Structure 1
Amino acid sequence: MTKSIFFSLLFSFLFINLHAQQSELSVEKIMQDPKWMGTFPSNVKWDQNSNGIYFNYNKDADPSDSLYRVQLANPKKIEKVSWTEEKDIDFSRGTYNKSKTKKIYSKGNTLVILDIKSGKEIELLQFPKNIGSPNFLANEDWIAFEADNNAYIYSQESGILKKLTQIQSGDESKKKDPKSSDKASYLEAENLKLLSVVKEREDKNETSKTIREARKGKETYTYYTGDNHVNNLRISPDAKYVTFMLFQRGKSAATIVPNYIDASSYTKNLNTRSKVGDDETKAELAIYNIEKDTVYKVQTNSLPGITDLPDYVKDYPDKEWEAKEREVITSQAYFSDNGQYAIVNVRSKDNKDRWIAKLDLSNGELSILDRQRDEAWIAGPGIGWSMGGGTMGWLPDNKHIYFQSEATGYSHLYLLDVTNGKKKALTSGDFEVFDPFISNDQKSWYLTTSEVGPGERHFYKMPLMGGKMEQLTSMTGNNDVTLSPDEKHLAILHSYSNQPWELYYKKNTTKAEAVQLTSGQSDVFKSYNWRDPQLITFKAEDGAQVPARLYVPEASVNNNAAVIFVHGAGYLQNVHKWWSSYFREYMFHNLLTDLGYTVIDIDYRGSAGYGRDWRTGIYRHMGGKDLSDQVDGANYLVENYGVDKDKIGIYGGSYGGFITLMALFNEADTFTSGAALRSVTDWAHYNHGYTSNILNEPFNDPIAYERSSPIYFAEGLKGNLLIAHGMVDVNVHFQDVVRLSQRLIELGKDNWEMAVYPAEDHGFVEPSSWTDEYKRILKLFNSTLVEDKKD
């Protein structure tokens, strides 16, 4: 055997062995029913007396999760709650009184009060209609509630029930014309003239009617809602006012998604959402003045900046822009406990302004307390959407309100004195605040923050007027805390990067140790050594530090190829130290790494968790910085991890699918192959609520849509593209990829293929669909990034 033949055979052996690299994992294993992984707790709740923790679980291998509990008296015992007991438990209902000794709630049409200490329920009232939103008034003898879109109050002591409002749907009924037809009038007149007895009786009837009308006095006031629906009916603590939202969805054109495999064997059309720019919803806040027995609407036309034009109009110098009053949506009214004040949150429908205002209940006028303007769009943790105010309410002193704002670039908690307008930040720094609430004794805040780092979440306690935060959790990762009603214990859902969620509890002190209550991983799941991906940052072309999760293969199997994963939702965080909602993709990345791929998962511009500037980095150009972050990530791998620049693939679903298309169309020199799953191809065809915030409206800002939509760049495709989409996707419609496929056909592109899934919506549910899709993705990468590069 010559030396050349020997080395040739040796090289062939090494190459075959390298590319035959195996893994304990397989697509079939990863994508099967998630039950194979084990059972993990969710939806944690405490009982009323803080004695037990309830949660959804599946310890007994039922067809679906059931309700389980752990009693603090015996925390090692996990027991299933019987069906007969479960049907009588409703953890979500109820409003406490100030001292939190009682709770009021409804069971259908029955008003019920609960004594917290004894656990005794008392039925106060049975009503003909279902009762909603019961709560205590300032005088806690009185209970306020809503039924059939009207407000009522009930006295526990006297048993008196009062109806405060008279609200009725539709238009005021037209009074019948008292005049009868000519023919009928003639006959009636002749009858009365001829028959004197009948005439006498008719005269008596008319006299009696006149007397009855005089005695009745003023006609009862009724407010007719017309075409509006009533939402968020709220009764002031002094029962002098009732506020309610008048909501009208409008007649936006719905789009159709055909279901080709309906059980009937006929194609059935699913009516789904309208498209961006087609939004006719209207919402107004109305006030029912009980003493004056009248209704008037909250006036928003004097809001500062209500006629301001957005900055992007400068890109359209040939278009005339009218500075007119913008449409707004007003939140429910938030009343101070004594009923003296009320505030509202007002959002412009273009979402560039948010006003917090004091509401004069006597006339519906607003006095501005705070205005936040964002030339991109208002958002962030605790800031709320649409008709909601987000984190908002009153301190017990009845003069300070609290809310969250991104005024500093990160969402923080603020106080504002409504008597003098002074504002104070309770938290500050390059981190975000989540879900703050006030303690039972009303002396402290409880809140979750990312202060330790954007990849962790911890639970804190802080003085009510601000001060040092006391960290109450210590386990690295995410600590999702449910505080017991007596505030003595924490129930903690905790997970780490490679450890799914488990339930813990601990005493409500900094020094107490957390005790693990569940251990749900199956033996087969635990048998694999799941990777703890590295959390890194790399430098983007504009100097920003971009966060990422990195999976690096062993040197012995490294194939010098890389795969970039693009998470969906746009505004979502996936670079963190807790168990990902993309758990299937996480497991797929472990499989890819076993096979020799370097994998990177990037929190590109637009992702959550990094403040306002990161969140709005995609404004008016999706496929701009969010795409260049992927390119910079690819270059980082080439420069630092020996990745071959011609062996880089990219994939993702929904927004990730959109970025994948933009990558293959606009950055063909960087990406050899890509798999675009359930992807938006033309943003003018997506929904209004999400898209209009980022790209405005297509008829007002066509520049933003044309530079952000992949269908306009399809001629740039050079690499290998897999398109996969569910045919009954009511979020990103199948029409998106049908239109794109026609465009690719017309362009003469032949380096793409499409897989369709007739039974799947936007989020796949069938293991067979997941398996088929990811086998295709793996085949794409293996065949185009590794096998095609043998030379």
Structure 2
Amino acid sequence: MKKLCFLAIFCFILVSCKTSTQQTASNTNTGTKEITLEEIWNGTFSADRMNALNSMNGDFYSLLNRNKETKAVTVDKYSYETLEKVATIVSSENLDGLDSFSTYSFNNDESQLLLGTNFKKVYRHSYKGTFYAYNIADKKLTLVGEDIQEPTFSPDSKKVAYAKNNNLFIKNLRNGKVTQITKDGEVNAIINGTTDWVYEEEFGFVRAFDWNETSEYLAFLRFDEKEVPQFSMNVTGNDLYPSMHTFKYPKAGEDNAKVSLHLYNVANNTTKKLNVGEYEYIPRLQWTKDAQTLCVTTLNRHQNNLNLYFVNAKTNASTVVLNEKDQAYVDIQDNLTFLEDNSFIWTSEKDGYNHIYHYDASGKLINQVTKGEWEVTNYYGFQKESQKIFYQSVENGSINRGIYSIGLDGSDKKLLSKEDGNNSASFSKNMNYFIGTYSSAESPAVYSLYNSEGKELKVIKDNAALKSLIATYKMSPKEFSTITVNGNELNMYMIKPVDFDANKKYPMLMFQYSGPGSQQVANRWNGSNDYWHNMLAQKGMIVVCVDGRGTGLKGRDFKKVTQKQLGKFEVEDQIAAAKQLAQRNYIDEDRVGIWGWSYGGFMSTNCILKGNDIFSTAIAVAPVTSWRFYDTVYTERYMTTPQENAEGYDDNSPINYADKLEGNYLLVHGSGDDNVHQQNTMRMVNALVEANKQFDLFIYPDRAHGIYKGKNTRLNLYTKMTNFLEKNLLQKD
């Protein structure tokens, strides 16, 4: 359950009102076709997307392509300037010993490639695979290893480091020699060079090793998870007897893996442990521009005290160059960028909003680059020649995203993208060009080539066919607005039936997620849920989404108000919003429902219990029902430990309010959910049974948190939810 961190701006009300008016006018649809669940889940409304491109040296990029006729896989080189293919770098038709591959990565000078195939999933983001090194000049293919993880070229391109069986290895590409760096790796005990389950899920990285620029050293993390409690799940499978999936999962308040930092010296084949003070977590490590200086990020267990260390590889001396504290928590980010003089760029919300800062090599602040009551939502990079930083922010309203450039000294800020909607960018390695992706609630994704000054050079894909297709269906616009709830101005959208009549009464379904720093009310194109919501609207429901306190894009204080009491203010806001909206003449206050997934399921469950005087129906998919059951890193970031904050955990756990259920409640979970364990739902079931409450329950065997694996799984789930809502919201007593 990874966090999303976003924010807001003073003039939002004006921006959102303008957006709402425009969309209501332009999206009035004259189509007659009805959206069906089969169409939503068979890809009828899928937008045409660009293949993920890999920026290369100079003004070039590469793409992985597959020939539909010959089935050959190629890595092709393209020009940013013309978007035309200029070369085929490698084709599977010309590889002796490798029929196909599905991933590739370059070395520094782009003379070699790592080609990957035969992947096997480990956790949500991690895989084992078979990898080959391919020399482009002599077309030589060399096996690096089978069932290996995260192979990475050394900067001098002579070696590849990788993990296998929880140990680290280096293969010399010149003589084929393999050196095993660690030998103590063991499943569910010791991990070297890759991360454990909770680091991968919550800190968002898998490769826990990094080469220095001269290829002399390899820094890596070691996880000792022997004392971490073990979690087991039955796997139904297709065999006569179920099997057991067992892995280490630290729940709130329990032991984490003991993480240590190590440095391998390639020349003398020795490894030493490095000291970086007291800490609970090492969520990031990377080498600086100085080949002898390693940069390491540490966090305490409460995650509210972050240290940035510089460690000297020769002397082992470590120095804190930056310390950041927060009464709640400090977010981990991937924006740390070292410049040629080893000064660095850093993002922080220490002034109340997430902004970009520039520090010298000793950690002294040079200047705050961006400022204002709005937040930077993505950092794209720094261009040395122009001394410009490129970033994404919500300066034009918290439901929008724009692309900007700004001088390193904070001067000459410039908007490079459209003013409204959701704009994102994929920059060339030299930052001379970017491929911009624009969408809004009324426009599917448009991909265009821009130069670094923001001049649009060429439209690549515009999804005009999808826009024309949508026009043939009954579709209602998202009407963006704000609603004042519990003294706060909250972002909201509403979807009404096409034939809406203000003199009629309609049932209302609220949708939300509500997790810390998240956002659902955004001026972007439809996802699958948006089509489903529109389908429900045409059946006669009004669908509403409100981003309450604790969500993102309104600054630090708005986001972190939920600290130590997840599920309190967020639930209060949904209940209050529902009651306020139900006072409108066209809302039937006796037919108000709410649904959500994961954190949203936690919320919808709490809402039908604590808000049983307004919510008559709720759906919870894969919900957390007690934060005692969730992992350390995510949960303790917001709640501290159960030992320290028992009331915060229990006062907002729906398990403790099962006796308040008065309405219609559908509970859904996948039995193979290694993230939010099915245990959450089973404990909720027990509490409801003990309270003698009737409810609906459906379990999807072996499905993970997303409940999508297998034929028709999502179609089955959304059919079930649609039928439940039709029965309990659309049908009057």
Q: TM-score, normalized by length of structure 1?
A: 0.72
Report the alpha carbon displacement of residue 660 of structure 1 after superposing the two structures with TM.
0.9
| Structure-1 residue corresponding to 2:233 | 257
| Structure-2 residue corresponding to 1:401 | 344
Q: Secondary structure at the match of 1:34?
A: coil
Contact 2:399 / 2:523 at 8 angstroms: preserved in 1?
Answer: yes
Contact 1:357 / 1:369 at 8 angstroms: preserved in 2?
Answer: yes
Distance in 1 between the 2:423 and 2:104 partners? 21
Identical columns (%): 20
| Structure-1 residue corresponding to 2:224 | 248
Q: Secondary structure at the match of 1:332?
A: strand
Distance in 2 between the 1:712 and 1:495 partners? 42
| Structure-2 residue corresponding to 1:680 | 624
| Structure-1 residue corresponding to 2:284 | 331
Could you say if the C-alpha distance between residues 610 and 84 of structure 1 is closer, same or farther in structure 2, counting changes exceeding 3 Å? farther
Q: Secondary structure at the match of 2:605?
A: helix
Contact 1:45 / 1:482 at 8 angstroms: preserved in 2?
Answer: no
Report the alpha carbon displacement of residue 427 of structure 1 after superposing the two structures with TM.
1.4
Distance in 2 between the 1:402 and 1:151 partners? 31
Counterparts of residues 354-373 of structure 1 (less than 5 Å): 354-373=306-325
Report the alpha carbon displacement of residue 344 of structure 1 after superposing the two structures with TM.
2.2
**Which of 651, 655, 659 pairs up with 1:715?**
659
Counterparts of residues 196-207 of structure 1 (less than 5 Å): none
Q: Say what the alpha-carbon RMSD is for the aligned residues.
A: 4.3
Paired residue type of 1:625: F
Could you say if the C-alpha distance between residues 132 and 453 of structure 1 is closer, same or farther in structure 2, counting changes exceeding 3 Å? same
**Which of 596, 614, 627 pairs up with 1:652?**
596
Could you say if the C-alpha distance between residues 479 and 94 of structure 1 is closer, same or farther in structure 2, counting changes exceeding 3 Å? farther
Report the alpha carbon displacement of residue 675 of structure 1 after superposing the two structures with TM.
1.4
Matched, 1:536 2:481: yes
Distance in 1 between the 2:522 and 2:69 partners? 30
Range with greater deviation from structure 2 (251-260 or 655-664): 251-260
| Structure-1 residue corresponding to 2:192 | 229
Contact 2:514 / 2:570 at 8 angstroms: preserved in 1?
Answer: no
Counterparts of residues 326-725 of structure 1 (less than 5 Å): 327-329=280-282, 331-337=284-290, 339=291, 341-379=293-331, 383-384=332-333, 390-398=334-342, 400-419=343-362, 421-429=364-372, 430-439=374-383, 441=385, 443-474=387-418, 476-485=420-429, 487-512=431-456, 514-519=458-463, 521=465, 524-541=469-486, 543-553=487-497, 554-556=499-501, 558-567=504-513, 571-580=517-526, 583-640=527-584, 642-725=586-669
Report the alpha carbon displacement of residue 43 of structure 1 after superposing the two structures with TM.
2.2
Report the alpha carbon displacement of residue 735 of structure 1 after superposing the two structures with TM.
2.8
Distance in 2 between the 1:395 and 1:662 partners? 48
Distance in 2 between the 1:82 and 1:289 partners? 36
Report the alpha carbon displacement of residue 256 of structure 1 after superposing the two structures with TM.
2.5
Counterparts of residues 43-62 of structure 1 (less than 5 Å): 43-46=52-55, 50=59, 54=63
Distance in 2 between the 1:551 and 1:110 partners? 51
Distance in 2 between the 1:366 and 1:738 partners? 48
Matched, 1:169 2:164: no
Distance in 2 between the 1:46 and 1:239 partners? 23
**1:167-188 CA-partner distances (Å, limit 9, x unpaired):** 44249xxxxxxxxxxxxxxxxx
Distance in 2 between the 1:642 and 1:656 partners? 26
Range with greater deviation from structure 2 (443-452 or 41-50): 41-50
Distance in 1 between the 2:554 and 2:100 partners? 42
Contact 2:445 / 2:463 at 8 angstroms: preserved in 1?
Answer: no
Contact 1:285 / 1:330 at 8 angstroms: preserved in 2?
Answer: no
Distance in 2 between the 1:596 and 1:568 partners? 25
Paired residue type of 2:449: Y
Report the alpha carbon displacement of residue 128 of structure 1 after superposing the two structures with TM.
9.9
Contact 1:568 / 1:654 at 8 angstroms: preserved in 2?
Answer: no
Contact 1:110 / 1:123 at 8 angstroms: preserved in 2?
Answer: no
Paired residue type of 1:689: V
Where structure 2 has 5 or more consecutive residues not aligned to the other structure, the ranges are 1-30, 116-129, 195-207
Report the alpha carbon displacement of residue 668 of structure 1 after superposing the two structures with TM.
0.8
**1:753-782 CA-partner distances (Å, limit 9, x unpaired):** 223333633212257443443344334444
Distance in 2 between the 1:575 and 1:61 partners? 43
Matched, 1:32 2:41: yes
| Structure-1 residue corresponding to 2:245 | 270
Q: Secondary structure at the match of 1:95?
A: coil
Could you say if the C-alpha distance between residues 62 and 545 of structure 1 is closer, same or farther in structure 2, counting changes exceeding 3 Å? farther
Range with greater deviation from structure 2 (523-532 or 246-255): 523-532
Could you say if the C-alpha distance between residues 534 and 36 of structure 1 is closer, same or farther in structure 2, counting changes exceeding 3 Å? closer
Larger relative contact order (C-alpha < 8 A, sep ≥ 6)? 2
Matched, 1:133 2:152: yes
Q: Secondary structure at the match of 2:665?
A: strand
Distance in 2 between the 1:281 and 1:588 partners? 42
Distance in 2 between the 1:41 and 1:235 partners? 31
Could you say if the C-alpha distance between residues 113 and 784 of structure 1 is closer, same or farther in structure 2, counting changes exceeding 3 Å? closer
Contact 2:283 / 2:299 at 8 angstroms: preserved in 1?
Answer: yes
Report the alpha carbon displacement of residue 414 of structure 1 after superposing the two structures with TM.
1.3
Paired residue type of 1:327: E
Distance in 2 between the 1:68 and 1:35 partners? 29
Matched, 1:282 2:258: yes
Report the alpha carbon displacement of residue 651 of structure 1 after superposing the two structures with TM.
0.9
- The structure with the greater share of residues assigned to strand is 2
**1:202-228 CA-partner distances (Å, limit 9, x unpaired):** xxxxxxxxxxxxxxxxxxxxxxxx956
Distance in 1 between the 2:131 and 2:512 partners? 49
Contact 1:462 / 1:470 at 8 angstroms: preserved in 2?
Answer: yes
Paired residue type of 1:134: F
Contact 2:595 / 2:620 at 8 angstroms: preserved in 1?
Answer: yes
| Structure-2 residue corresponding to 1:18 | none
Distance in 2 between the 1:291 and 1:760 partners? 47
Distance in 2 between the 1:67 and 1:111 partners? 14
Report the alpha carbon displacement of residue 634 of structure 1 after superposing the two structures with TM.
1.2
Where structure 1 has 5 or more consecutive residues not aligned to the other structure, the ranges are 1-21, 97-101, 115-119, 172-225, 302-324, 385-389
Could you say if the C-alpha distance between residues 350 and 689 of structure 1 is closer, same or farther in structure 2, counting changes exceeding 3 Å? same
Q: TM-score, normalized by length of structure 2?
A: 0.77
Contact 1:478 / 1:578 at 8 angstroms: preserved in 2?
Answer: yes
Distance in 2 between the 1:121 and 1:490 partners? 32
Matched, 1:95 2:108: yes
**Which of 731, 749, 774 pairs up with 2:693?**
749
Report the alpha carbon displacement of residue 295 of structure 1 after superposing the two structures with TM.
5.1
Paired residue type of 1:556: D
- The structure with the greater share of residues assigned to helix is 1
Distance in 2 between the 1:91 and 1:448 partners? 28
Contact 1:715 / 1:744 at 8 angstroms: preserved in 2?
Answer: yes
Contact 1:563 / 1:651 at 8 angstroms: preserved in 2?
Answer: yes
Could you say if the C-alpha distance between residues 259 and 478 of structure 1 is closer, same or farther in structure 2, counting changes exceeding 3 Å? same
Range with greater deviation from structure 2 (736-745 or 48-57): 48-57
Distance in 2 between the 1:235 and 1:613 partners? 39
Paired residue type of 1:243: A
Counterparts of residues 110-121 of structure 1 (less than 5 Å): none
Paired residue type of 2:570: D
Contact 1:329 / 1:349 at 8 angstroms: preserved in 2?
Answer: no
Distance in 1 between the 2:457 and 2:437 partners? 14
